[in-house]
Amino acid sequence: MDSFLAILAIVFGTPRAHGDPPSPPSPAASSEPGAAAPAELPEPEAASGIAIAQPLPGRTRRAILRYLLFIPRWAFTILMAPPRGAMWVYERYSLQTRFEDIFMNTEKTLGVFPLASYESGFGVGGGALFFYRDLFGKRGQLRLSGTYGGLERQRYVASISTGDLLGERVEVRFEASYRLLLNQLFFGYGTRDMVESTGGAPIDPRDAAVRTRYRHEDMKGAVKVSVEFSDVARARLATALTRVDFRRARDTDGPDAADVYDIDALVGYRSGLRSLYNELELVFDTRRPTATLVPPAAPATGWRGEAFIGYQLGVVDDPSNFFRYGFDVRRHIDLYAGDRVLVLRAFVDSVIGDTGDIPFHSLPRLGGPRALRGYQRNRFRDRTAGFVSAEYRYPISRNALGFLYIDAGSVWPGIDAIDTDAIGLGYGGGFQLHGRHTFLARIQVLASADGDLLFNLSFDPVSDPDARYSRP
């Protein structure tokens, strides 16, 4: 209201400044002969002895900006009102504690958690996770999960880890999984603008970007060995044997990839993939909270860096024969009080090999709720992918935070072909729930410079939101 009154004052007139000359005395006051000259009247703003601050140009500009931002600010507030209300209920009624009491045993070593997800273009998914955290009496873990619907029509995962059985610094994890994705998205290669249809004969995937679908089914067995060198540095060696088959999509909202693109140009589509992938990953993580009341799950300062290199070799009829390498670096900057945090990120994923030796499914890609957010999942795909991100996080409560972000990135036909001619821009925001040490849920509203507007919800109490999305 003060800013509004200041603007009115400027438009319709402002009080006389302190340095202006005083008004001449009234003639009536000096009309009596011999009367003493009246004392000079004090300035209006000095009459009470209290100086009145005058509106400054800078304050006026800020007031105008505030009113210009009124509509988008309230639009965002209204859009985010339901999730913010849910978070208030979560804190007010201690839902985390109630949740753990219902789904976990007293020692917090065994439990069954519900899982839920939603992603624009894929619908709602749900399932359950069973876990036990004290195998062998050495903090080993057993996990069994199953989900149905959403991005993955069916997904089943079983894993077992050794915990401290081999010592406090070494852990081995065995994992087996099955996934069925009925309507995966494929837009061709590169960064061409999307078109509705090409018509005519099937085209090369580099000639046009058409939103198509295909069916993906995979089975995987993996062994992962993690070694901690210190509290902030560790290495991980993973070996995975994978079988992947591709078919026509089912019940899609658009054309099938086989009807638009030349299938012979999609390496591995006809024969499927039977491959062995080995990867070495190095991780350096110094992130930590800086305020006593902020949980470790919401670090405020430090670095997290990952560098990886892998090699994939096909067996039977799989043509795979290529190297993969890249890095993922995050910097957390404490802006204020340990709970206003700026997170900067840079990510690169690239492959080296002959064109006929790299399956289309294995090419680096961007788009979706984790990499170049705001674009449709797998919108961009090529031999090299990279993006940078800036995310501002602010507190809502001890176990909830809000965030606003902007991502910029692209794909290129090689690491030596990186340029800035076709950079995609994504932006948005959302809310995150976390426990003291673990991630619980994230709600995001995602938009892109191309006009996409997407919504994503993930409720997965044991997932790692920092895990690289291309990790085997």
pTM value is 0.79
Instruction: Answer yes or no: is pLDDT of 93 > 80.
Output: no
Spell out a b/e string for 64-81, using b for 16 or more CB atoms within 10 Å of the CB, else e.
Answer: eeeeeeeeeeeeeeeebe
Distance, in Å, from the CA atom of 306 to the CA atom of 299, rounded to the nearest integer, reads 17
Which carries the bigger pLDDT value, residue 43 or residue 145? 145
What spatial distance separates the first Cα and last Cα of the chain, rounded to whole Å?
57
Distance, in Å, from the CA atom of 465 to the CA atom of 457, rounded to the nearest integer, reads 13
CA dihedral 247, 248, 250, 251 (to 10 degrees): 160
Instruction: Answer yes or no: is pLDDT of 219 > 70.
Output: yes
User: Can you give the length of the chain in residues?
Assistant: 472
Specify whether the CB–CB gap between 333 and 342 falls below 8 A. yes
E strand or H helix that includes residue 70: helix 70-79
The pLDDT tens digits of the residues spanning 417-449 come to: 888 888 999 999 998 888 777 788 899 999 999
Which carries the bigger pLDDT value, residue 32 or residue 361? 361
33-42, 137-146, 208-217, 387-396: segment of lowest average pLDDT? 33-42
Fold that domain 72-459 belongs to in CATH? Porin (2.40.160)
DSSP state of 301: B
Among 124, 118, 167, CA closest to 149: 124
Distance, in Å, from the CA atom of 400 to the CA atom of 339, rounded to the nearest integer, reads 11
